[in-house]
Structure formats: structure tokens, C-alpha cells
Amino acid sequence: MLNPFPDLLAYSILAPLFLRLVLGLIFIDLGFLKFRSEKQRWITSFEALYLRPADLFVAVYGIIQIAGGLLLLIGLWTQVAALAFAILTGIELGIELSMREVLKRDITFYLLLFVISISLLLTGAGAYAFDIPL
């Protein structure tokens, strides 16, 4: 079947850019939530998973999310950040599937973040990034 909008394929380099920006903003927001309104909930979740000291793990996890989100926003080390986020969201997705009472988030939320991370890992940063495709 023919593509109904073949002229739009010239802009396919922008697709990873949009995914990268949205994923970066989401993870920056999630990282800041670990230091504000969701901090106690995450400490409780980490303690339920036997990760102690939970407050340290929550802080480190928040910093990783903020730093990785910033890397995605500027397009630096995109595949490394995407790999880290794919691993982390994959773990969160597994925890959500096996122990719903621990994280209490929507499974589709983690699945979407996981798939976007895998997509960026495979496609690279796209346009307007510091990453240079090899």
C-alpha cells in the first residue's frame, strides 16, 4: 500500500526529537516529584522492596531521573540515557505487574515510557542534538 502522505517522510528525523523532548520532560518531572509530593510514598515503596536506606535510594533515583531527563532534552548521550530509562522503567513495570500495592501507578504509563525509551535507544537522538550518529 502506498503511503498516504509521502512528503511527510522527509521530516522523519524529527520523530525522535519529539519523543526525546517529551520523555526528558516526563523524567525531569518524575525526578522532582521524588523530592517533593511523592517522596514519602516512594520511601514506603522502596522499604517494601527491602531497599534500605530508602530515603537515600529515593534521592539517588530522583537525581538519576533529573540528570537523564536533562541529557535527553539537550540530546547528549541519548542512547545511554534511553538505555538507563528502559532498564528502570522495565523494572518498575515488572514491579507494578507483580506487586500492584507497592507503586500504585498505571501499567500503561510504565509501558509507554518503556517503549519510548527503547525507541530512542534504537533510533538515536534525532534532530537538534549533540549526539552524532555514526
Rounded to the nearest 10 degrees, the angle between the axes of helix 14-33 and helix 54-74 is: 150
pLDDT over 70 percentage in the chain: 94
Q: What is the pLDDT of residues 24-49, one digit of tens each?
A: 999 999 999 999 998 998 888 888 88
Residue 54 has pLDDT above 60, yes or no: yes
CA distance 17 to 120: 9
Given pLDDT bands bounded at 50, 70 and 90, which one contains residue 3? confident
Q: What is the pLDDT of residues 90-124, one digit of tens each?
A: 998 888 887 766 666 678 888 999 999 999 999 99
